[in-house]
Amino acid sequence: MVLHRSSKVSVESFVDLAPGVPMRHEVDELNDRITLFFGRDEFVLHLGHETLANVVEAGTRALSELAAAS
């Protein structure tokens, strides 16, 4: 069930990850995509190579801001 859809984003659920949640990934080299799995595969995130790079960049900036605030 899709909760929200725009031209480039489809939101199907809200996820809040507690510390220590197991995470793993699979790489699909043929299609230049990765899949991230959280928990016991309770939440799955599919990303293309470029989108993954954007998420990592945003996360790195967020970590820097949190460190600066501490």
Q: What's the rounded Cα separation, in Å, for the pair 27 and 17?
A: 22
Does residue 29 have a pLDDT over 80? yes
- Rg of the chain on CA atoms, in Å: 14
The confidence band for 1, taking pLDDT boundaries of 50, 70 and 90, is low
The answer to whether residues 65 and 57 touch, using CB atoms and an 8 Å cutoff, is no
Does residue 13 have a pLDDT over 90? no
Please identify which residue in the block is written with the tokens 């605030």: 69
Query: pTM value?
Result: 0.74
How confident is the model over 30-44, as pLDDT tens digits?
999 999 999 988 889
Please identify which residue in the block is written with the tokens 């939440």: 43
